[in-house]
A and B are shown apart, each in its own frame.
Chain A
Amino acid sequence: MSESPVLLEITDLRASVADQEILCGVNLTVRAGEIHAVMGRNGSGKSTLSKVIAGHPSYTITGGSVRFRGQDIDELAPEERSRAGVFLGFQYPVEIPGVSNLEFLRVSTNARRQAQDLEELDTFSFEEHLQQRLELVQMDPSFLERSLNEGFSGGEKKRNEILQMALLEPVVAILDETDSGLDIDALRIVAEGVNHLAGPDNATLLITHYQRLLDAITPQFVHVMAHGRILRTGGPELALELERRGYDWVDAEAGISSRSPEVMA
């Protein structure tokens, strides 16, 4: 497995929002074909990590680096990262009134295809392209006619995120608490979608609180984040241990008092 190429290389990454440092030296290497899970309490910096990788303008990298396929990601605008194959599945996808979901999906897909030197899809061929991916997330085509995420339930929003992932065929997909707010059926559909899309040439980074997502998607690596750093890395058994014992022992073993002031993620 260590033979496969490195897709994402995070080295001593420090990042802040509004002058408050949230990431305090994150190290993480993700290779093709791997699934990683990043776990941790609220405020541990998990969501911040995902937003920094995707390029949210509120966050500033203050030290270290994120390299995507060898290129320093800080040089790229968010849209360029997406076109290059970085995907962030949002914890809370925003509603964008007036923008048709279908049109959005088509423009987005074509932006990525253009970067891959693939032919752009016109309205008709796009709908064909879309059909099988809709089935993957069991989404009703009527969602396509609606405004982007507007009035969607929590589960519908998440399925729409996985649909976007299926269309964009990312190299590295980061799913930020995709399981939160999902009922059992929606969780199963989302997990099946993620499993279906995971392959030898791409990688997935799951950010989650709970074991239940990891019952459905098995990661090779589980990382525990606290206080803006990855404190511990293990295999799937680590997630089970966290489920059993909570997070305090990780802090204790790292020599950090477990209830030090939390930072907001």
Chain B
Amino acid sequence: MSATPPVNALDAPVASSNVSDLVSQPYRYGFVTDIETEKIAKGLSEEVVRLISAKKKEPQFLLDFRLRAFRQWQRMAEPDWAALGYPPIDYQDIVYYAAPKQEQKKASLDEVDPKLLETFDKLGIPLSEQKRLSNVAVDAVFDSVSIATTYKEQLAEHGVIFCSFSEAVEEHPELIERYLGSVVPIADNYFAALNSAVFSDGSFVFIPKGVTCPMDLSTYFRINSGDTGQFERTLIVAEEGASVSYLEGCTAPMFDTNQLHAAVVELVALDDASIKYSTVQNWYAGDENGKGGIYNFVTKRGICKGARSHISWTQVETGSAITWKYPSCVLAGADSVGEFYSVALTNNCQQADTGTKMVHVGPRSRSTIVSKGISAGRSANSYRGLVQMGAKAIGARNYSQCDSMLIGDQAAANTYPYIRSQQPQATVEHEASTCRISEDQLFYLQSRGIAFEEAVSMMVSGFCRDVFNQLPLEFAAEADKLLALKLEGSVG
């Protein structure tokens, strides 16, 4: 997860021998924190949108933004083009705002409910001064609100703003007003419109001109309530020449019911700026019969606004009953670069329809897509990606590689690449492959003393290596273990 304790360097790389100890573990983060919560009544209406805005004492522009989004959402229909099957979601049966009861404003961590600190401790994200991670600043989000952000002051010395979205609205309203919705407009899609109407909290990052963020930034999202939707909003702005690496981790308790998660992430990179956004998603995936789990409908998009700007998405998607997610790049600047590295693993009854959009606008813009889908059990795993070359994207290039690995004989893998080009001098390359772990490969490894489950995870992490190499080091080791864990019992 985003900020588990650093892993011993010796057992860090691929397929460490303790993977086999891990495969027998159930979902580790399935506990519920017993804490008094302030919740509004179920259901969604204009009153609810106004109530959320009022609770957060928001400025008028934000209330207007929410109301426009809500009205837009009412006119829209839930998309049905994805290769996903699930019963209709009752949007009136969801709680749209839940917050642990405590003083809204925390001057210091000492005032944060110890139960919350304990929860994040248990998740491997210690927040207190003595225990917090030394190289990563963390914003911890619990249900609808941000609990704490570490290293805020140290970052501020460099001019870096890293705080909860609510705080940013209070303290930097001009930046929010300027950038909110500038990458994902409210009418972009059904779930983005819903999020824009009811989003509660999330993280805000601003890296000023010329600054390289001195440490990795991380947000850890924790769903706790059983009937609450989570609608967070993340906005990252890197000014000219700035650069930042941002990590996102997520977990949720095990419930028999499904929880809706509809987030929006917007990234803005100006001239020569660079944003690297990594996600290890480990929401609860439901049980082996498909009961429970998170419905993950997420809109993530970055705009390479400036020349030579660079946005890189890396995702490891392992949780969620349903994943509907296409982290994308709009490559507006000349010579800008967009990247998408993805591992999506589905097991049991999980369904994933995920991929990316690379929209080339600027001349000589380049993009790389590397997608690795692993389907086990009775799951379905689809890659869906769009590469678009606009009329002015002279000399633009894209390279896409989509590989699928099937484990067992009941899983499905699909690839839906869409290529649109209005520019004859643009190059688009697409490669795809499907493989299955063969009995002979497993026997070979076994006959060298490597146990069956470990042999599988060795091959899976080998398959994912190109993507794992893109992750920050602690993340890569964790992702490796996570996959082994998720594949438990899926073979044989």
Contact B443 A56 (CB under 8 A): yes
16 residue pairs of the A-B complex, CB under 8 angstroms, read A79-B448, A82-B447, A93-B444, A96-B441, A96-B444, A96-B445, A96-B459, A97-B462, A99-B458, A99-B459, A103-B13, A103-B14, A107-B15, A107-B450, A111-B17, A112-B449
Q: How far is the CB of B454 from chain A (nearest CB, A)?
A: 8
Query: Any chain A CB within 8 A of the CB of B72?
Result: no
With a cutoff of 8 Å between Cβ atoms, the chain B residues found around residue A152 in the complex are none
| Complex contacts, A168 vs chain B, CB 8 Å | 448-449
In the complex, which residues 58-111 of chain A have their Cβ closer than 8 Å to any Cβ of chain B? 58, 77-79, 81-83, 87-88, 90, 93-94, 96-100, 103-104, 107-108, 110-111
Q: Does A164 contact B (CB under 8 A)?
A: yes
The yes or no answer to A117 lying at the interface (CB within 8 A) is no
Question: Once the chains are docked, how many angstroms separate the CA of A57 from the CA of B133?
Answer: 47
B60 to chain A, nearest CB (A): 55
* Residue contact A98 to B450, C-beta cutoff 8 Å: no
Q: Which residues of chain A have a CB within 8 Å of any CB of chain B?
A: 54-58, 77-79, 81-83, 87-88, 90, 93-94, 96-100, 103-104, 107-108, 110-112, 115, 120, 122-123, 147, 164, 168
Q: How far is the CB of B30 from chain A (nearest CB, A)?
A: 30
Instruction: Assess the A78–B443 pair: CB atoms within 8 A.
Output: yes
Selected contact of A94 from candidates B10, B440, B461, CB within 8 Å:
B440
Q: Judging by beta carbons under 8 Å apart, are B14 and A100 in contact?
A: yes
CB distance from B262 to the nearest CB of A (A): 34
Contact B10 A123 (CB under 8 A): yes
| Chain A residues in 8 Å Cβ range of B17 | 107, 110-111, 120
Kindly state whether residue B42 has any CB partner on chain A within 8 Å: no
Given contacts A107-B458, A123-B10, whether A77 and B444 have CB atoms under 8 Å apart is: no
B452 interface residue, CB < 8 Å from A?
yes
**Count of A-B contacts judged by CB separation below 8 Å:** 89
Inter-chain CA distance A94–B10, complex, in Å, is 28
Residues in B neighbouring A93, C-beta threshold 8 A:
444
> A208 to B458, alpha carbons, bound, how many Å?
32
Contact B446 A82 (CB under 8 A): yes
Q: How far is the CB of A4 from chain B (nearest CB, A)?
A: 25
Query: Is the beta-carbon distance between B444 and A103 smaller than 8 angstroms?
Result: no
Name the A residues within 8 Å of B462 (CB-CB): 96-100, 147
List of A residues within 8 angstroms of B450 by Cβ: 79, 104, 107-108, 111
Within 8 A of A (CB), among B454-477: 454, 458-459, 461-465
7 closest residue pairs by CB, A with B? A98-B462, A111-B449, A82-B449, A108-B448, A78-B446, A99-B462, A79-B446
Output the least CB separation between B373 and chain A (Å).
Answer: 15
Closest-by-CB residue of B relative to A51 is: B443
- Is B439 positioned at the interface, with any CB of A under 8 Å from its CB? yes
When distances are taken between beta carbons in the complex, the residues of chain A under 8 Å from B438 are: 94
Q: Mark B363-383, 1 if CB is under 8 A from A, else 0.
A: 000000000000000000000
* B14 to A, closest residue via Cβ: A103
